[in-house]
């Protein structure tokens, strides 16, 4: 069971779902793709990147990979966080909105590194206010 918040300004309804993923040596990349629920606009609001309790004392670099297309070959990955257990085990991000699909990569280190945020869906015409439950 997922909990979501539905709010409205004018005729737009927004649905926000918790989102998270784990990057590790075994699974160093993760691509966020929106759920296919009608015709809705989707944004990923990334809020926290942190090391797991089993992380080694090493540098862990988390980056966003550019989209895989012919025009974007010149673009380089963007580093989001450089984490080390004894120095900086967590970063809190404010106002980072990403349009899917977004691919995250653990470029250095073995993790585990956890990313969390919200999937936000907007669609025209919807209920106003309240909290609703969305089946998994």
The pTM for the full model equals: 0.76
Query: Residue 15, Cβ neighbours under 10 Å: how many?
Result: 22
Q: From first to last of the 136 residues of the chain, give the pLDDT tens digit.
A: 445 454 444 456 788 899 999 999 999 999 998 876 665 689 999 999 999 999 999 999 999 998 876 565 678 899 999 999 999 999 999 889 998 899 999 999 999 999 999 999 887 554 444 444 444 4
Bridge partner residues of 15 (DSSP)? 6, 121
Sheet of strand 102-108: strand arrangement: 29-32, 102-108, 60-65, 78-83
Of the candidates 54, 66, 47, 64, which has an alpha carbon nearest to the alpha carbon of residue 25? 54
Instruction: Enumerate domains of the chain plus CATH numbers.
Output: 2-123 (2.60.120.340)
H/E run at residue 29: strand 29-32
């Amino acid at each position: 069971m997922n909990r979501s918040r539905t709010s409205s300004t004018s005729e737009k309804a927004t649905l926000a779902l918790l989102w998270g993923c784990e990057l590790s040596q075994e699974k160093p990349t993760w691509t966020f793709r929106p759920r296919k629920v009608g015709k809705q606009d989707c944004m990923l609001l990334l809020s926290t990147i942190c090391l797991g309790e089993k992380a080694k004392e090493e540098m862990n670099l988390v980056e966003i990979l550019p989209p895989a297309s012919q025009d974007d070959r010149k673009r380089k990955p963007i580093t989001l966080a450089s984490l080390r257990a004894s120095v900086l085990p967590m970063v809190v991000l404010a106002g980072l909105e990403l349009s899917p699909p977004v691919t995250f990569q653990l470029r250095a280190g073995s993790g585990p590194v956890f990313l969390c945020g919200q999937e936000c869906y907007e669609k025209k015409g919807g209920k106003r206010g309240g909290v609703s439950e969305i089946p998994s």
